[in-house]
Amino acid sequence: MKVTFEDVRLHRDAALRLFDVQRRQILSWVPDVEVMHVGSTAFESGLSRGDLDIQIRVAPDRYAVALAAIAPHYVVNPDGYTSDDAASFKDDDLDPPVGLILTAINGSGDALWCFRDALLARPDLAAEYSAIKARSQGGSLAAYRADKHLFVRRVMRTPEYARITHGLHWRYRPVRVETARAVVFDVQDGDAASLAAYYARNEARLAPWTSSRPTGWTTEAFWRQRITDQLTQKKAGAAVQLWWGLAGEASGEVAGVAHLSHIDAQGVGACALRFSVDGRQEGTGLAKEALTTVIRYAFEDVGLRRIRAAHAPTNVRCAHLLRRLGFQVEDPLPADGHGQDQVLTALVNLAAVAAD
């Protein structure tokens, strides 16, 4: 799908009129909510896809009631964010088309109005956002969304965003942990160029991770497509990708990546761990330091109780690293499709993480 943008001034007046109508209708269905105009038509200048974006905020204990009142009037938006405290809808028959998201206050999706206000406070960031749209003109929607998410994560680290969100405690937030030698980010927080360089350099090594990718896709393209699924959807079966580099390294070189997948898919607080280390960093101890941070994040932030990893019996380096991290060997796994048997290892609690 291609993405196109136009001057927001071509759509803003119509969007403002429709927002007023939509706001009154929504409040008639469920009066105890806050209806907010977000998205590009909330700005006086810039580029827009020509639609109207609305965020509906409600107290957490009233979320179920609001969802039942609003859902019958719209169509579920399969491309929008959905979780246990957020739901996305749309109405493409309106002029302009409308996208809505219902969010519990301080919940997992309650960030759009903060992003809007951060850009209103920083005209330079608003201009950069328009520049991203201009570069994406006529390109794929997936590529635009990937660039947009990287930009959004960067905005979320600005002082303006911090001031707006002071006192808010979301369960889902960008990951950035710096240790003595390593800095660990979630993939949306990373630098796109350095991540692309990492994948290009390690394509052959990372290919087995992506057996389900479309034929002909590179590893980089596969993960770029999945950026929009990372971190923001930590629910059953979801995945989070983290990467790490050297702390204080100006180049931003990626030294390794870790993938937490099948998060709580069985409802037992578990996930699967896969990781890859740049060959130039093997044996330096950086992987142990970074993966210890990743494991702590999985237990403390995601709330998991069990992490499982698999490796080929011939991969002595990987087995040694997992043992140093506190993993213990469980049952062998079937062949992995590449002619090698797998060995399953498991880390069942945070106390098992090896101390430095």
Question: Cβ atoms within 10 A of the Cβ of 304, count?
Answer: 22
Give me the percent of the chain exceeding a pLDDT of 90: 41
Residues 152 and 222 in one domain: no
Report pLDDT for 286.
Answer: 92
Q: What integer is the mean pLDDT of 50-55?
A: 97
Residues 153 and 209 in one domain: no
Residues 120 and 180 in one domain: no
CATH number of residue 308's parent domain:
3.40.630.30
The answer to whether the beta carbons of residues 57 and 113 sit under 8 Å apart is: yes
Residues 11 and 158 in one domain: yes
The answer to whether the beta carbons of residues 38 and 51 sit under 8 Å apart is: no
Give the residue with greater pLDDT, 137 vs 334. Answer: 137
Residues 146 and 182 in one domain: no
Report pLDDT for 171.
Answer: 52
- Residue 1, in any domain of the structure: no
Report pLDDT for 263.
Answer: 83
CATH number of residue 36's parent domain:
3.30.460.10
**Residue that finishes a domain, picked among 136, 164, 192:** 164
The answer to whether the beta carbons of residues 234 and 302 sit under 8 Å apart is: yes
pTM of the model: 0.62
Q: What integer is the mean pLDDT of 281-285?
A: 84
Report pLDDT for 337.
Answer: 56
Report pLDDT for 232.
Answer: 47
Structural element, H or E, at residue 70: helix 63-70
Q: What integer is the mean pLDDT of 65-89?
A: 91
**Residue that finishes a domain, picked among 137, 164, 191:** 164
The answer to whether the beta carbons of residues 66 and 28 sit under 8 Å apart is: no
Report pLDDT for 227.
Answer: 57
Report pLDDT digits (tens) over 294-341: 998 888 877 888 999 988 888 888 899 999 999 998 877 776 555 567
Residues 156 and 182 in one domain: no
Residues 98 and 201 in one domain: no
Mean pLDDT of the chain, nearest integer: 84
Residues 127-131: contacts with CB within 8 Å, 24+ apart?
127/46, 129/46, 130/45, 130/46, 130/47
The answer to whether the beta carbons of residues 291 and 320 sit under 8 Å apart is: no
Select from 81, 165, 54 the least CA-distant residue to 118. Answer: 165
Q: What integer is the mean pLDDT of 4-8?
A: 96
- Please give the Cα distance from 57 to 104 (Å, whole number): 6
Residues 40 and 140 in one domain: yes
- Residue 171, in any domain of the structure: no
Give the residue with greater pLDDT, 168 vs 170. Answer: 168
Residues 231 and 330 in one domain: yes
Report pLDDT for 56.
Answer: 98
- Please give the Cα distance from 58 to 338 (Å, whole number): 50
Give the residue with greater pLDDT, 199 vs 65. Answer: 65
Residues 301-304: contacts with CB within 8 Å, 24+ apart?
301/175, 302/234, 302/240, 302/260, 302/263, 302/271, 303/269, 304/263, 304/264, 304/269, 304/270, 304/271
- Residue 263, in any domain of the structure: yes
Sign of the Cα torsion 211, 227, 97, 90 reads positive
Residue 118, token pair as written in the block: 């951060």
Residues 18 and 117 in one domain: yes
Give the residue with greater pLDDT, 206 vs 110. Answer: 110
Report pLDDT digits (tens) over 206-239: 776 666 666 667 776 666 666 555 544 545 677 7
Report pLDDT for 205.
Answer: 76
Report pLDDT for 70.
Answer: 97
Beta strands at 86-91 and 98-104: parallel, antiparallel or unpaired: antiparallel
Select from 72, 60, 65 the least CA-distant residue to 30. Answer: 65
Which residues make beta-bridge pairs with 263?
238
Select from 238, 220, 217 the least CA-distant residue to 229. Answer: 238
Report pLDDT for 266.
Answer: 78
Report pLDDT digits (tens) over 244-274: 988 877 677 889 999 888 888 777 889 899 8
The answer to whether the beta carbons of residues 267 and 305 sit under 8 Å apart is: no
- Residue 327, in any domain of the structure: yes
Residues 260 and 198 in one domain: yes
Domain count, the chain: 2
**Full domain range(s) for residue 211:** 176-352
Q: How confident is the model at residue 152 (pLDDT cuts 50, 70, 90)?
A: confident
The answer to whether the beta carbons of residues 56 and 100 sit under 8 Å apart is: yes
Instruction: Find the range with the poorest average confidence among 6-10, 36-40, 215-219.
Output: 215-219
* Cα distances (angstroms) measured from residue 41 to each of 12, 152, 274: 5, 17, 41
Residues 124 and 152 in one domain: yes
- Residue 170, in any domain of the structure: no
**Residue that finishes a domain, picked among 134, 164, 194:** 164
Q: How confident is the model at residue 138 (pLDDT cuts 50, 70, 90)?
A: very high
The answer to whether the beta carbons of residues 298 and 268 sit under 8 Å apart is: no
* Cα distances (angstroms) measured from residue 120 to each of 34, 39, 40, 117, 161: 20, 11, 11, 5, 11
Report pLDDT for 195.
Answer: 78
